[in-house]
Chain A
Amino acid sequence: MSSISVQITFRCRDFVARRFRIGRRRASRTRLIAGTVAVLAFLLIPGHARAADQPHLAIFAQQINYLVNVQLRDGSEYVGLLDVLDPLGQVATHINGKKWTLDFSSSGNRVEIVCQEGKRKCSIRGADVEMAAKFVVSEGHGYVPVSALAEILPRVTNLIANLNVHGRRLLLGISGVHLSSDVLKNPSRLVLTFPSPVKPAVTNEGNTLLLTFTREPVTTTGPETTNFGDPLITSGRFMVVNGAALYLVTATAPVVTMFSEGNRVITISAPPAAVPATPAQPPVTAPVQAQPVPAPTQPVPQKPAAPAFIVAIDAAHGGTETGALLSPTLAEKDVTLALARRIARELQSKGISVYMVRAGDTQMTLDQRASAANTAHAALYIAIHAAAQGHGVRLYTAMLPPSMAVPTHHAFVPWETAQSAWLDLSATAAGSIADECNRRNIPVRAMPAAVRPLNNIEGPAIALEVAPPSDTLEDINSATYQQSIASAVAAGITAIRPKLEAAR
Chain B
Amino acid sequence: MISRPMQITIALLVAAILGMGFYALKLKQKVETLHATSDNRPAAPPVTGDLQTVTLWVAHDDGTLHQQQMQLAMPNEPAARAMRVLQALVQIYTGKDSPHPLGAGSDIEDVYLVNGTTAVVDLNQTLADTHPSGIMVEQLTIVSLIQTLTANVPNVTRVKFLVGGKERDTLAGHEDLKMTYDVSTVSQVAQELQ
A contacts, CB < 8 Å to B: 317, 321, 323-325, 332, 366, 385, 387-390, 394, 396, 399-402, 416, 445, 447-452, 455, 463, 465, 467
Contact = CB atoms under 8 A, between A and B. Distances in A.
Given A390-B63, A401-B184, A463 B176 contact: no
Contact of B136 (A366, A389, A401, A455): A389
Contacts of B192: 447
Interface string B48-70: 00000000000001110000000
A450 B139 contact: yes
Interface of B: 61-63, 132-137, 139, 142, 169-170, 173-176, 178-179, 181-182, 184-186, 188-189, 192-193
Interface of A: prevailing SS: mixed
A366 B169 contact: yes
Contact of B135 (A325, A394, A455): A394
A324 B174 CA distance: 10
A451 B63 contact: no
Contacts of B188: 448
Nearest to A391: B62
A451 B135 contact: yes
Given A317-B173, A366-B169, A450-B142, A399 B189 contact: yes
Contacts of A467: 136
Contact of A388 (B134, B170, B176, B181): B134
B134 A450 contact: no
A390 B176 CA distance: 21
A324 B181 contact: no
Contacts of B170: 452
A212 B180 CA distance: 50
10 contacts: A323-B173, A366-B169, A385-B174, A387-B134, A389-B61, A390-B61, A390-B136, A396-B135, A452-B178, A463-B135
Nearest to A403: B182
A394 B137 CA distance: 12
Given A399-B185, A449-B189, A387 B173 contact: no
Nearest to B63: A390
Nearest to A446: B192
B181 A450 contact: yes
B100 to A, nearest CB: 9
A445 B173 CA distance: 21
B143 to A, nearest CB: 9
Leading 9 A-B pairs by shortest Cβ distance: A387-B134, A324-B133, A450-B176, A401-B182, A465-B135, A401-B185, A389-B61, A390-B63, A452-B176
Given A390-B62, A394-B136, A451-B175, 10 more contacts: A387-B135, A387-B136, A389-B137, A394-B135, A402-B185, A450-B175, A451-B139, A455-B176, A463-B135, A465-B134
Interface of B: prevailing SS: mixed
Contact of B174 (A388, A448, A452): A452
B69 to A, nearest CB: 26
A20 B186 CA distance: 70
Contacts of A416: 178-179
Contacts of A390: 61-63, 136
B74 to A, nearest CB: 29
A450 B61 CA distance: 18
Given A317-B173, A450-B142, A455-B176, A400 B133 contact: no
Nearest to A452: B176
A470 to B, nearest CB: 14
Nearest to A450: B176
B185 A389 contact: no
A467 B63 CA distance: 11
Contacts of B135: 385, 387, 394, 396, 449, 451, 463, 465
B54 to A, nearest CB: 25
Contacts of A388: 132, 134
Nearest to B61: A389
Nearest to A390: B63
B61 to A, nearest CB: 5
Contacts of A448: 185, 188-189
Contact of A332 (B133, B181, B185): B133
A245 to B, nearest CB: 35
Contacts of A445: 63
A445 B179 CA distance: 24
B38 to A, nearest CB: 50
Given A401-B182, A401-B185, A324 B175 contact: no
A431 to B, nearest CB: 14
B175 A323 contact: no
Contacts of B61: 389-390
A447 B139 CA distance: 11
A229 to B, nearest CB: 41
A331 to B, nearest CB: 10
Contacts of A452: 169-170, 174, 176, 178
Contact of A449 (B139, B173, B178, B184): B139
Contacts of B63: 389-390, 394, 445
A445 B189 CA distance: 12
Nearest to A448: B189
A342 to B, nearest CB: 20
B103 to A, nearest CB: 14
Contacts of A321: 173
A396 B192 CA distance: 12
A324 B132 contact: yes
Nearest to A394: B136
Contact of A451 (B176, B184, B193): B176
B113 to A, nearest CB: 20
B119 to A, nearest CB: 16
A390 B60 CA distance: 10
A385 B134 contact: yes
Contacts of A451: 135, 139, 174-176
A385 B170 CA distance: 15
B176 to A, nearest CB: 4
Nearest to B171: A450
B139 A389 contact: no
A447 B189 contact: yes
Contacts of A385: 134-135, 174
Nearest to A321: B173
A125 to B, nearest CB: 35
A394 B136 CA distance: 8
